[in-house]
Amino acid sequence: MRLTKWLVLPAFCALTLLTGTAFALADTTVEIKGVHLCCGACVKGVAAALKGIEGVTPKCDRDNSTVTLTAKDDAAAQKGLDALADAGYFGDTGSKTLTLKPAADVPSGKVSTLKLSNAHNCCGSCNNAIKKAVASVDGVKGNTVKARTANFEVTGDFDAAAVVKALNAAGFQVKVTK
């Protein structure tokens, strides 16, 4: 009886330790597809956005327009995704639980003016991609998009949600400003 107690207790402790270690080593990995990464400054912007997020490590693949986040857990991964969106990046995670949230407060229906902010727009290529996405929406007549400027206005007679959706599809996140 005594021998059994001395064998079971160490075995239980070892199992608990190994199980705890296994959980500690289980990372969350999220691949975000369709992120606009046209240049080194875009990649640096991703790193800067995630710099203060504890337990999150990004890896950018410019050729495939992907950012892969490795995080200590789902909560850290979501913080990383939120930080990317706040920095003006957007993409598809393929997950229902870990996502980049689309812009809030988008007016419904057609509008004549839409003020947007927060777009990652570090260079001429970003600028051209934003302009192309905005121009692809029916009814858009003009915009004030300028390189290295995150804020701009879209004018015409267009569906506001369609503009945001086109920008998201091009890999950009925006915020609607009033």
pLDDT digits (tens, 9 = 90+) for 21-48: 444 456 999 999 999 999 999 999 999 9
**What pLDDT, in 10s, does the model give residues 52-80?**
899 999 999 999 999 999 999 999 999 99
Task: For residue 86, give the nearest of 134, 34, 32, 49 by alpha carbon.
Answer: 49
Start-to-end CA span in the chain (Å):
75
Residue 17 pLDDT > 70, yes or no? no
Residue type, 152: F
Q: How confident is the model at residue 10 (pLDDT cuts 50, 70, 90)?
A: very low
Q: How far apart are CA 87 and CA 81, in angstroms?
A: 10
**What pLDDT, in 10s, does the model give residues 113-157?**
999 999 999 999 999 999 999 999 999 999 999 999 999 999 999
* List of domains in the chain: 27-95 (3.30.70.100), 110-177 (3.30.70.100)
**What pLDDT, in 10s, does the model give residues 79-98?**
999 999 999 999 999 999 99
Residue with tokens 């080194």: 40
